[in-house]
């Protein structure tokens, strides 16, 4: 169920000209339900002019910390981010759902691994959480961060990355790429693209030493890094991606005029089972459920956050791809309700 909890802001820091870092205090009685894994995200909610707005933001602090930390970058014309930058201050209360997401992996203290992450812009937020958690919990592992930005002034968490570099001198390497600021070393002056990745692999980062790679940023950067890594022998199964903007092609296909038939829908949600008869519609399964009075968890409604993930226990659905679910989730029957349409006359979904 889309249950929201009131959290108080204990700290608000301006990180760059257009980015705020918020710390949210979790009341003692909700600590267990808000315990987060590295790389998860949080859905925040506010109401503007009578309209409910929900947005998902990746948590940027290490797992196990009682408070939650996230960054909100101001987006021109973005109603939620504009509101957040104007109205959120220390002591303000904001509504949040419990953390979700499967980007980060569980750590193993005794296994020495080499991780790398490729981030661009705000894509650093879930990566920072994974990086801090890994270096803290795996004392024999090392981490290489490749981080792209416009220029030095737009680097989010710049001081924090410097502090981490000092603390984990021998285990953390950071390579900054700037697309709009000349660099002494030509390799680092430009976007993270496939040729630059290849040059990096040829000079500073040996792909065969990598056990796991995380990608977060614009689709083009993730495609380029993924292609370069695989061209150098890294299996796709060792590359994890976190998308944070909707792919317009997916949106378009999800919104296509495919009309789902009337469907006898059984939904398992929060331990209860509901049965509904839905009329034919071109709406997504999520919208059809919301219109019927059910309240499954959701945030972006655009196939980005995976908050609406559910499992098809019986029947068939159509879900456009690519999407943020990994192959093992798809093999287990998971789908995103906000992208999916019913194909069969009867369907059973589980949100538990
Ligand atoms: S609500 Fe975000 S992916 Fe469905």
pLDDT, one tens digit per residue, over 295-335 is 999 999 988 889 999 999 999 999 987 777 888 899 999 99
Specify whether 154 is located in the same domain as 216. yes
Distance CA 314, CA 304 (A): 25
pLDDT at 249: 60
């950067």: which residue's tokens? 221
Count: domains in the chain: 3
Specify whether 233 is located in the same domain as 136. yes
pLDDT at 279: 87
Specify whether 136 is located in the same domain as 72. no
- For the CA of 56, the nearest atom of ligand 1: 2
Question: Which residue(s) pair with 349 in the sheet?
Answer: 267, 312
Entry pTM: 0.89
- Categorize the per-residue pLDDT at 257 as very low, low, confident or very high, splitting at 50, 70 and 90: low
310 within ligand 1 shell (Cβ under 6 A): no
305 within ligand 1 shell (Cβ under 6 A): yes
- For the CA of 308, the nearest atom of ligand 1: 4
54 within ligand 1 shell (Cβ under 6 A): no
Residue 331 has phi, psi (to 5 degrees) of -65, -30
Specify whether 235 is located in the same domain as 123. yes
Q: How many CA atoms lie within 13 Å of 318's alpha carbon, on the beta-carbon side? A: 18
Which of 242, 276, 302 corresponds to the end of one domain? 242
pLDDT tens-place string over residues 49-75: 999 999 999 999 999 999 999 999 999
Q: Give ∠ CA 286-83-94 in degrees, rounded to 5.
A: 70
Cβ–Cβ < 8 Å for 133, 254: no
pLDDT surpassing 60 at residue 254: no
Specify whether 190 is located in the same domain as 125. yes
Distance CA 126, CA 119 (A): 9
Tell me how far the alpha carbon of residue 63 lies from the centroid of ligand 1, in angstroms. 23
Cβ–Cβ < 8 Å for 215, 222: yes
| Domain extent at residue 14 | 5-96
Residue 155 has phi, psi (to 5 degrees) of -75, 115
Cβ–Cβ < 8 Å for 125, 70: yes
Q: Give ∠ CA 55-58-63 in degrees, rounded to 5.
A: 140
């Amino acid at each position: 169920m889309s249950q929201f909890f009131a959290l108080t802001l204990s700290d608000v820091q301006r990180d760059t000209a257009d980015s705020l870092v918020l710390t949210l205090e979790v009341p003692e009685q909700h600590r267990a339900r808000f315990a987060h894994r590295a790389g998860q995200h949080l859905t925040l909610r506010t109401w503007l002019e009578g309209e409910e707005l929900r947005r998902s933001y990746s948590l940027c602090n290490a797992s196990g910390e009682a408070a939650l930390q996230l960054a909100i970058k101001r987006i021109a014309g973005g109603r939620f981010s504009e509101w957040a930058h104007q109205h959120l201050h220390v002591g303000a209360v904001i509504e949040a759902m419990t953390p979700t997401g499967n980007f980060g992996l569980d750590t193993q203290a005794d296994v020495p691994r080499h991780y790398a992450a490729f981030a661009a812009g705000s894509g650093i937020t879930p990566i920072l959480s994974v990086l801090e958690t890994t270096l803290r919990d795996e004392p024999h592992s090392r981490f290489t961060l490749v981080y792209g930005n416009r220029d030095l002034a737009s680097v989010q968490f710049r001081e924090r990355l410097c502090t981490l570099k000092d603390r984990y001198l021998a285990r953390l390497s950071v390579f900054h790429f700037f697309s709009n600021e000349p660099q002494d070393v030509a390799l680092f002056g430009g976007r993270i693209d496939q040729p630059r990745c290849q040059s990096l692999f040829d000079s500073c980062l040996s792909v065969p030493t990598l056990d796991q790679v995380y990608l977060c940023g614009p689709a083009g950067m993730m495609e380029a890094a993924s292609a370069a890594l695989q061209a150098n022998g890294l299996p796709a199964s060792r590359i994890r991606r976190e998308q944070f903007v909707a792919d317009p092609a997916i949106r378009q296909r999800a919104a296509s005029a495919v009309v789902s038939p009337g469907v006898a829908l059984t939904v398992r949600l929060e331990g209860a089972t509901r049965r509904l008869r839905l009329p034919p519609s071109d709406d997504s399964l999520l919208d059809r459920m919301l219109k019927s009075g059910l309240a499954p968890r959701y945030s972006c409604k655009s196939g980005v956050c995976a908050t609406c993930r559910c499992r098809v226990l019986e029947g068939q659905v159509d879900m456009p791809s690519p999407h943020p679910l990994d192959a093992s989730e798809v093999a287990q029957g998971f789908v995103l309700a906000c992208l999916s349409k019913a194909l069969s006359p009867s369907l059973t979904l589980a949100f538990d």
